[in-house]
Chain A
């Protein structure tokens, strides 16, 4: 292929043919910001104010500004108390935060997270939504499904803590391959997970390994990240 043609196109050499259901976890051709599309699934009473919680710095600010009139950031590095009055926000986000928080505090997840979730519940308006993203934040290194099943850290599951904080509904989604660039966001219910396998089989032929994992309740081997949408 002539050099000029190569140079014309090489900077966009995203591999459309790579599929997330192949023998190894591959990189889908996502563009930055695709991680914010969960907002289309969130059931919010209104879309005015949102609060991003993270450890050091804001990472979602620019994309949240496309959906909310007011976007605020607060660092939870120092403590889990939130310096805001009650019922102020329509949405609060914890994107890839809680695992780092637990790891930094060196205490049990419940001891660290329950006060934080209580605070999030307090600052949300009735009908507001807390987004909790856990598991792989960035694209994971290449690994086989079996390595993912046996070796990887599981996303932290905090549904019970969210309910204990008073959230009346928690909708859980499994995410592939990571929170920042999720190629698929699938409700974590059996009918949805089986439906996705059916759709994938239609597109790429049946994948016995994937189907077995879903049928055996091992879907986490296929989805390295997890989203919880908890409603106040």
Chain B
């Protein structure tokens, strides 16, 4: 007899030649179980309502070999991510960037199965790496993310425009932020900055590139969570997201107090200097000029905050982005040169 999970997995042919149904009862465990499947229709205002659980599959020696995301069949984000990952992991160029992934869907459940990467979350590594080691890791990760994004552009049928104006991208989010109560005195200088930015070449972005979506197995940097791939095409969005989250992790105080990225970058310490160098080199590789890069930065801050509010993300997450946005807006208003803080010379 098989459980319903085993029966579902039976139809999936794994890269090691087995089918997913070949696991004994104690080789299957439920982890990160945060919502029931089948899901309730909706829990108003709860952004987790359609999140189900994960399943870890073990080999006979007890080593985790596959991980499954199990959610409601109506979860369009998981469906999209599974399609994207299955497409990309089949490309040999991404063999060491995106773990093997497949999926299956019934009326009750949708399941994404992928190879379990037995490595450390980048989140745990960032505070422990030397500055040089961290810089090297960022370069490798950005290289992998860029390869995934350009490969997706090549392989997907979607028609993407060639250029974009950052103000056009940010405008709807600016309206959302204003109506949510973010001060106009902070938003107006940011809007001015966006208005002054010349058009940039549109580039597909990962959209959620931060240390909890990156795993290092000692050799490769593996990227996860492609739900939002292509949702934004503002160049350097991923670069800013990765650098901001990493810098804040490296600045984390034992007390839990968190400075803003703007504060960290204004300090001009070695970490800030290295981060500016990373921004400059990433921009140079994409053909983005300094003033455009600052427009993209303003757009990134507006867009990510707006998206988090739209997704009704936890207040803890939103708060730090709103604070960041207000700090940057206030600084521009006071005449602070963004280029000096985030780009340097």
**Residues of A near any B CB (own CB < 8 A):** 1-6, 8-17, 28-45, 63, 66, 127, 171, 182-187, 189-192, 194-196, 198-199, 202-205, 231
When distances are taken between beta carbons in the complex, the residues of chain A under 8 Å from B120 are 202, 205
Asked whether A1 and B319 contact (CB < 8 A) given A195-B62, A202-B120, the answer is yes
* Interface SS majority for chain A: mixed
Assess the A195–B30 pair: CB atoms within 8 A: no
B2, B31, B35, B315: the one within 8 Å of A30 (CB): B35
Residues of B with Cβ closer than 8 Å to A?
1-6, 25-38, 40, 43, 45-49, 51-53, 55-56, 58, 61-64, 70, 109, 116, 118-121, 124, 180-183, 215, 309, 312-319, 322-323
Instruction: Give the contacting residue for B312; candidates A12, A189, A192; CB below 8 A.
Output: A12
**Which A residues are in CB contact (< 8 Å) with B35?**
30-31, 33-34
Chain A to chain B: the 3 pairs with minimum beta-carbon distance, closest first: A4-B181, A191-B62, A33-B36
Enumerate chain B residues within 8 angstroms of A9, measured Cβ to Cβ. Answer: 309, 312-315, 318
Chain A residues within 8 Å of B64, by CB: 195, 198-199
Query: Contact: A6 with B315, CB < 8 Å?
Result: yes
Q: Which of B29, B33, B317 contacts A196, CB < 8 Å? A: B29
Q: Is the CB of A2 within 8 A of B322?
A: yes
* Chain B residues, CB < 8 A from A183: 31-34
Known A31-B34, A37-B30, A202-B119; judge A44-B313 contact (CB<8 A): no
Q: What chain A residues lie within 8 Å of B182 (beta carbons)?
A: 2, 5
Q: Is the CB of B181 within 8 A of A2?
A: yes
Cβ B32 vs Cβ A15 within 8 A: no
Complex-state Cα separation, A158 to B204, whole angstroms: 56
B184 nearest CB across to chain A (Å):
11
Work out how many contacts link A and B, with CB atoms closer than 8 A.
Answer: 176
Residue of A nearest to B31 (CB): A184
B36 nearest CB across to chain A (Å): 3
Which residue on B lies nearest to A202, using beta carbons?
B120
Question: Bound complex: CA of A142 vs CA of B116, how far in Å?
Answer: 32
Neighbour of B309 across the interface among A8, A30, A187, CB < 8 A: A8
A199–B56 contact, CB under 8 A? yes
Nearest A residue (CB) for B318: A9
A10 CA to B257 CA in the complex, in Å? Answer: 20
| Residue in contact with A14 in the complex, picked from B28, B180, B314, CB distance below 8 Å | B314
Partner of B63, one of A36, A40, A195: A195
Kindly list chain B residues whose C-beta atoms are within 8 Å of the C-beta of A198. 63-64, 118
Measured in the bound complex, the distance between the Cα atoms of B216 and A205 in whole Å is: 13
Bound form: Cα–Cα A9–B315 in Å:
5
Given contacts A34-B34, A185-B33, A198-B64, contact A8 B180 (CB under 8 A): yes
> Contacts A42-B3, A43-B1, A44-B1; is A199 near B31 (CB within 8 Å)?
yes
- From A17, A31, A39, A192, B58 is in contact (CB under 8 Å) with A192
CA separation between A186 and B29, bound complex, in Å?
5
Closest CB of chain A to B46's CB: distance in Å? Answer: 6
Given A17-B316, A184-B31, A202-B119, answer yes or no on A171-B47 (Cβ-Cβ < 8 Å): no
| CB pair B31 A37 closer than 8 Å | no
Q: In the complex, given contacts A17-B316, A37-B52, what are 9 additional A-B residue pairs having Cβ atoms less than 8 angstroms apart?
A: A4-B180, A9-B309, A13-B314, A31-B34, A34-B35, A37-B30, A37-B33, A182-B33, A183-B34
What are the residues of chain A within 8 A of B55 when measuring CB–CB?
40
In the assembled complex, the Cα of A28 lies from the Cα of B312 at a distance in Å of: 18
User: With A31-B43, A33-B35 in contact, is A15–B314 under 8 Å at CB?
Assistant: yes
CB pair A66–B312 under 8 Å, yes or no, is no
A37 and B62 contact, Cβ closer than 8 Å, known pairs A5-B180, A202-B119: no
Shortest distance between the CB of B119 and any CB in chain A (Å) = 6
In the bound complex, CA of A187 to CA of B29 (Å): 6
B30 with A182: CB separation less than 8 A: yes
Q: Are A29 and B34 in contact (CB under 8 A)?
A: yes
In the assembled complex, the Cα of A199 lies from the Cα of B29 at a distance in Å of 11
When the two chains form the complex, which single residue of A1, A28, A192 contacts B322, counting CB atoms closer than 8 Å?
Answer: A1
CB neighbours of A40 from chain B (8 A): 3-5, 30, 37, 55, 70, 109
CA distance A56 to B28 in the complex (A): 34
- Asked whether B26 lies within 8 Å of A171 as measured between CB atoms, the reply is yes
Given contacts A5-B318, A30-B34, A187-B25, contact A12 B4 (CB under 8 A): no
Residues of B within 8 A of A195 (CB): 29, 56, 58, 62-64
Q: How close is A112's CB to chain B, nearest CB, in angstroms?
A: 28
Across the interface, do A31 and B2 meet the contact criterion of CB distance under 8 Å?
no
* 5 A-B contacts (beta carbon < 8 Å): A2-B183, A8-B312, A42-B3, A43-B1, A204-B121
B316 and A196 contacting across the interface, CB-CB below 8 Å? no
- With a cutoff of 8 Å between Cβ atoms, the chain A residues found around residue B316 in the complex are 13, 15-17
With both chains docked as a complex, state the minimum distance between the C-beta of B183 and any C-beta of chain A, in angstroms.
7
Please tell me which one of the listed residues A186, A192, A203 contacts residue B121 in the complex, with CB atoms under 8 A apart.
A203
Q: Report whether B26 and A189 are in contact in the complex, using a CB–CB cutoff of 8 Å.
A: yes
- Complex contacts, B312 vs chain A, CB 8 Å: 8-9, 12
Q: Once the chains are docked, how many angstroms separate the CA of A63 from the CA of B36?
A: 9
Distance A38 CA – B70 CA, assembled complex (angstroms): 13
Q: How far is the CB of A204 from chain B (nearest CB, A)?
A: 6
Residues on A with beta carbons closer than 8 Å to the beta carbon of B61:
191
Q: How far is the CA of A13 from the CA of B315 in the complex (A)?
A: 6
